[in-house]
């Protein structure tokens, strides 16, 4: 604690001595230095923000470890320096932002710094979903892009996601090189904050129209949408950027009966109607679920603030709505997409997912003779794979368990706008066949196996929390469990060392993916347990996946109960 306090104090004093830092920030720093409890001071200054799986992200406030105009300016200056080393001629970047407090301010700071460095900055005139930023980079032939968002984090957070010319988030070595450039800046006086207004351009509606056109070309069963255009859909943007595109996208595709949750339609960084704007949580979608029940809708959709994740609710045979988890929704979407491919498309195409996402998708792909690739967690790795596969195979779709999905290669990041369109098309196609999404979910399980997943998030905030997470990973690595849920652990995959070890034979095999702080344990009954620190939030994640045979729809509830019991038993042993 004393060491961290000394580091934080030194960093705080550097900020106080800078002529660039504004007076209000200096007053706040002096208050932190005089408080009896130094925790906030330490958390604010003990390190610099770093790029993780989702870029730069932190609590808004004063300090080197917080989101503010100075850390945003430093990140932009570092990125600008790197871009000028990487590209010749006139460099262009696209910039977007969501509804969070200060997002518009940080976006303007970003545009100002880029322009001050002689880089042409294309800025959306108002909030827009993150996937549109990914699309705009390639459409406008930019070398880079930035979106200001903290995705589904609590309201205190904001973030800065940087993209490369392929429309994908930065991956090694670019992310590390940008950080190196940021660290080499030397002081705030070396950040060019004074804008060159002639280099800041407004992005027109042409980009959005081009996005809608590219999406429409990839939607199957358009005849079903036309016949079922009055299917009842419910959508909530949870006060985020989705309201600017999702309703319009569905309207353009022909859906005529969309109910928007008006209480959550107005963009608001304080998220007044929810505790957390995360569609993974039941509470965030409760208002939409209640409205869907009242009007007997077929499908509920809710997107997170920057509209790259979507939560899905469907109803069972009793008419009761329930939420699909990310693995269920992704599996159902991929089952729908893959069965609508031609034989040639199956031979030439491929799908992708992350290593912690359900293996049900791998099973479906294998039985349909479609290549399925696994990557590290984070859509930037899926996008990196897409770049490597260009000219070799045709990308079909991808997804991950954390409610992120992508169909077609016109966007190179998870995309809740297109995902909403595909889930609506899926619901229309099911209804056109006299079925429901619940019918098709059970049919998928009967045909390919009932895989069920659980997720436990253990939150550890601040500097002390970060160390606790490191210690937990070290314990799992040095003394891995011998059994989980009453079944022996037979295989351990350590992505940090790059070694897969068979505990039965003792054989060790090298893993092919890049090294990452992830552990996976497989048990003798086929269960898979993954452990990893989050790259975007102060938490460690435990993913539990179990499976069983489902012989009939009548057995669904019984088998579900058995799988839930197995998941709970494993979770209890982990945490």
Residues 73-86 pLDDT 10s = 999 999 999 999 99
Percent with pLDDT over 90 in the chain = 89
Q: How far is CA 446 from the centre of its chain?
A: 30
Whole-number Å distance between alpha carbons of 66 and 476: 30
Q: Looking at the structure, do residues 237 and 361 belong to the same domain, yes or no? A: yes
Share of the chain above pLDDT 70, in %: 99
pTM attached to this predicted model: 0.93
| Structural domain span for residue 311 | 210-448
Shared domain check, 355 and 310: yes
Cβ neighbours for 65, distance < 8 A, ≥ 6 positions apart: 43, 44, 45, 46, 47, 48, 49, 58
Confidence band of 217 (pLDDT split at 50, 70, 90): very high
pLDDT above 90 for 146: yes
Phi, psi of 231 (to 5 degrees): -55, 135
Tell me what the mean pLDDT of segment 386-412 comes to.
96
pLDDT at 55 over 90: no
**pLDDT tops 60 at residue 52:** no
Among 203, 218, 239, the domain-final residue is 203
Give the mean pLDDT of 300-308: 97
Final residue before a domain boundary, out of 448, 481, 514: 448
Tell me the CATH number at 556.
3.30.310
Position 51 pLDDT exceeds 70: no
Strands (E), 241-328: 258-260, 299-303, 310-315, 321-324
Q: Is the pLDDT of residue 463 over 90?
A: no
> So what's the pLDDT on residue 213?
98
Instruction: Mark whether 490 and 513 lie in a shared domain.
Output: yes
Task: Report pLDDT for 1.
Answer: 61
Helix boundaries (H) for 46-161: 69-86, 103-116, 130-139
The confidence score (pLDDT) of residue 535 equals 72
- For residues 57 and 309, give the distance between their C-alpha atoms in angstroms, rounded to a whole number: 17
Same domain membership, residue 198 and residue 228: no
Is pLDDT of 292 > 90? yes
What's the mean pLDDT in 328-336? 97
Query: What's the DSSP call for residue 242?
Result: G
Nearest to 537 by CA among 58, 165, 136: 58
CA 39, CA 373: separation in Å to the nearest integer?
A: 43
Query: CA–CA separation, 163 vs 171, rounded Å?
Result: 9
pLDDT of residue 538: 84
353, β-bridge pairs: 374, 399
Find the mean pLDDT for residues 511-523.
95
Q: Confirm if 185 and 103 have CB atoms less than 8 A apart.
A: no
If asked whether residues 255 and 303 sit together in one domain, one would say yes
Span 92-110, average pLDDT: 98
Work out whether strand 92-97 and strand 144-148 pair parallel, antiparallel, or are unpaired: parallel
Q: Is residue 291 within 8 Å of 232, Cβ to Cβ?
A: no
Asked if residue 332 and residue 404 are part of one domain, the reply reads yes
Residues contacting residue 22 through CB under 8 Å, at least 6 positions apart? none
User: Are residues 397 and 506 located together in one domain of the fold?
Assistant: no
Asked whether 180 and 170 are in contact (CB, 8 A), the reply is: no
> In this structure, are 55 and 36 located in the same domain?
no
Confidence band, pLDDT 50/70/90 cuts, at residue 513: very high
Q: What is the pLDDT of residues 526-553, one digit of tens each?
A: 999 999 998 777 899 999 999 999 999 9
**Residue 386 above 80 pLDDT?**
yes
Look over the chain and give the mean of its residue pLDDT values, rounded to a whole number: 95
Query: How many whole angstroms separate alpha carbon 175 and alpha carbon 181?
Result: 10
The pLDDT of 270-297, averaged and rounded, is: 96
CATH number at residue 237: 3.40.120.10
Look at residues 203, 228, 245 and tell me which one is the last residue of a structural domain: 203
Which residues are known to be catalytic?
A: 151
Residues 6+ apart with CB under 8 A from 512: none
The reply to whether 235 and 98 lie within a common domain is no
Number of domains in the chain: 4
Q: Report the pLDDT averaged over residues 209-234.
A: 96
Whether 436 and 303 map to the same domain: the answer is yes
- Distance (Å, whole) CA 154 – CA 337: 33
On the question of pLDDT at 71 being above 80, the answer is yes
Whether 194 and 54 share a structural domain: yes
Q: What is the CA radius of gyration of the chain?
A: 24
Q: Which of 286-300, 308-322, 396-410, 460-474 has the lowest mean pLDDT?
A: 460-474
Q: Examine the domain organization and report whether 82 and 119 are in the same domain.
A: yes
Beta partners for residue 351, in sequence order: 372, 397
């Amino acid at each position: 604690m004393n060491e961290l306090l000394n580091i934080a104090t030194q960093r705080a004093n550097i900020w106080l001595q800078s002529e660039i830092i504004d007076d209000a920030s200096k007053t706040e720093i002096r208050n932190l230095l005089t408080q009896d409890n130094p925790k906030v001071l330490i958390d604010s200054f003990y390190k610099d923000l770093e790029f993780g799986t989702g870029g730069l992200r932190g609590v808004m406030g004063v300090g080197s470890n917080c989101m503010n105009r100075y850390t945003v300016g430093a990140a932009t200056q570092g990125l600008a320096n790197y871009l000028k080393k990487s590209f010749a001629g006139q460099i262009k970047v696209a910039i977007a932002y969501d509804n969070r407090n200060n997002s518009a301010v940080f976006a303007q700071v970003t545009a100002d710094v880029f322009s001050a460095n002689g880089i042409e900055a294309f800025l959306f005139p108002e909030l827009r979903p993150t996937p549109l930023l990914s699309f705009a980079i390639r459409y406008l032939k930019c070398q880079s892009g930035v979106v200001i968002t903290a995705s589904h984090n609590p309201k205190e957070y904001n973030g800065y996601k940087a993209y490369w010319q392929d429309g994908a988030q930065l991956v090694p070595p670019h992310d590390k090189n940008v950080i190196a450039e940021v660290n080499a800046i030397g002081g705030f006086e070396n950040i060019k904050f004074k804008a060159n207004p002639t280099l800041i351009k407004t992005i027109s509606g042409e980009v959005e129209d081009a996005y809608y056109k590219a999406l429409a070309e990839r939607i199957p069963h358009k005849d079903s949408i036309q016949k079922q255009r009055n299917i009842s859909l419910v959508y909530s943007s949870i006060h985020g950027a989705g309201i600017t595109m999702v309703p319009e996208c569905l309207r353009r595709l022909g859906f005529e009966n969309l109910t928007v949750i008006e209480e959550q339609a107005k963009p608001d960084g304080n998220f007044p109607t929810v505790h957390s704007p995360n569609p993974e949580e039941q509470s965030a979608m409760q208002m939409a679920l209640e409205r869907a029940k009242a009007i007997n809708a077929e499908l509920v959709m809710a997107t997170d603030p920057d509209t790259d994740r979507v939560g899905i609710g469907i109803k069972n045979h009793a008419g009761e709505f329930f939420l699909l988890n990310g693995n269920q929704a992704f599996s159902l979407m991929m089952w729908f997409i893959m069965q609508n491919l031609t034989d040639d498309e199956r031979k030439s195409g491929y799908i992708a997912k992350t290593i912690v996402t359900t293996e049900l998708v791998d099973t479906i792909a294998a039985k349909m003779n479609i290549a399925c690739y696994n990557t590290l967690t984070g859509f930037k790795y899926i996008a990196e794979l897409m770049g490597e596969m260009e000219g070799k195979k045709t990308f079909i779709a991808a997804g991950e368990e954390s409610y992120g999905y992508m169909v077609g290669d016109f966007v190179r990041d998870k995309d809740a706008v297109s995902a909403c369109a595909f889930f609506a098309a899926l619901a229309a196609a099911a209804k056109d066949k006299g079925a429901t999404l619940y019918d098709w979910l059970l049919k998928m399980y009967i045909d390919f196996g009932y895989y069920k997943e659980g997720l436990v998030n253990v939150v550890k905030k601040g500097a002390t929390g970060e160390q606790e997470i490191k210690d937990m990973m070290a314990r799992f690595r040095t003394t891995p469990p011998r059994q989980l849920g009453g079944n022996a652990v037979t295989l351990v995959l350590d992505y940090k060392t790059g070694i897969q070890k068979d505990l039965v034979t003792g054989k060790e095999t090298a893993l092919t993916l890049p090294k990452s702080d992830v552990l996976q344990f497989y048990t003798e009954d086929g269960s898979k347990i993954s452990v990893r620190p989050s790259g975007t939030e102060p938490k460690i994640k435990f993913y539990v996946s179990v499976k069983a045979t489902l012989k009939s729809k009548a057995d669904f509830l019984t088998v579900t109960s058995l799988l839930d019991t197995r998941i709970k038993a494993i979770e209890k042993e982990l945490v």
